[in-house]
């Protein structure tokens, strides 16, 4: 059960050409293409890529709020400590999720997470594209 990773993979990697070509100039496209590793072929590759490119998410606002130093440190540590061997066991996505913050930082995207009746927004100050994901207390799509 890897619905979290499957949803992210679908929204980021499989749509990368559409995302880049339709939202960036030629120069910007080539500058940004380095973030879209051509070797990401599945959810394991994606999770490894995120771990390898883990960083503090200074450019991301969570529901409009700037993250504190403590939050930045804890999010970085969470990604660093994540065991990629557990992907198929499911991932408990939180409403303040370190991976969603990191994805927003790395890919310069705004992520809208519709969690049941709540909208949770991860907004990169440099975002030009918006990704919407939906989830409840047991599944993401």
Q: What are the extents of the domains in the chain?
A: 3-135
What's CA 58's distance to the chain center, in Å? 14
Q: CA nearest 127: which of 107, 99, 112?
A: 107
Q: Which residue has the higher pLDDT, 2 or 76?
A: 76
Q: What is the pTM of this model?
A: 0.82
Q: CA nearest 99: which of 78, 71, 116?
A: 78
The whole-chain average pLDDT of the chain stands at 83
Say whether pLDDT at 20 is over 70: no
Q: Quick one: CA torsion of 69, 72, 76, 81, rounded to 10 degrees?
A: 80
3-state secondary structure at position 1: coil
What local confidence, expressed as pLDDT, does residue 99 receive?
96
What local confidence, expressed as pLDDT, does residue 82 receive?
96
Contact residues for 2 (Cβ-Cβ < 8 A; gap 6+): 43, 87, 88, 90, 91
| C-alpha span between 96 and 101 (Å, rounded) | 8
What local confidence, expressed as pLDDT, does residue 76 receive?
98
Say whether pLDDT at 34 is over 60: no
pLDDT tens profile 101-129? 999 999 888 999 988 889 999 999 998 88
| C-alpha span between 54 and 3 (Å, rounded) | 21
């Amino acid at each position: 059960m890897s619905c979290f990773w499957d949803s992210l993979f679908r929204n980021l990697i499989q749509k990368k050409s559409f995302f880049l070509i339709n939202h960036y100039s030629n120069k910007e496209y080539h500058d940004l293409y380095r973030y879209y590793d051509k070797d990401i072929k599945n959810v394991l590759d994606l999770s490894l890529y995120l771990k390898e490119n883990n960083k503090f998410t200074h450019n991301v606002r969570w529901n409009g709020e700037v993250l504190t130093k403590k939050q930045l440190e804890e999010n970085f540590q969470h990604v660093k400590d994540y065991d990629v061997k557990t992907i198929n066991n499911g991932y408990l996505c939180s409403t303040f999720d370190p991976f969603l913050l990191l994805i927003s930082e790395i890919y310069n995207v705004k992520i809208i997470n519709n969690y049941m009746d709540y909208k949770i927004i991860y907004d990169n100050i440099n975002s030009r594209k918006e990704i919407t994901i939906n989830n409840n207390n047991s599944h993401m799509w």
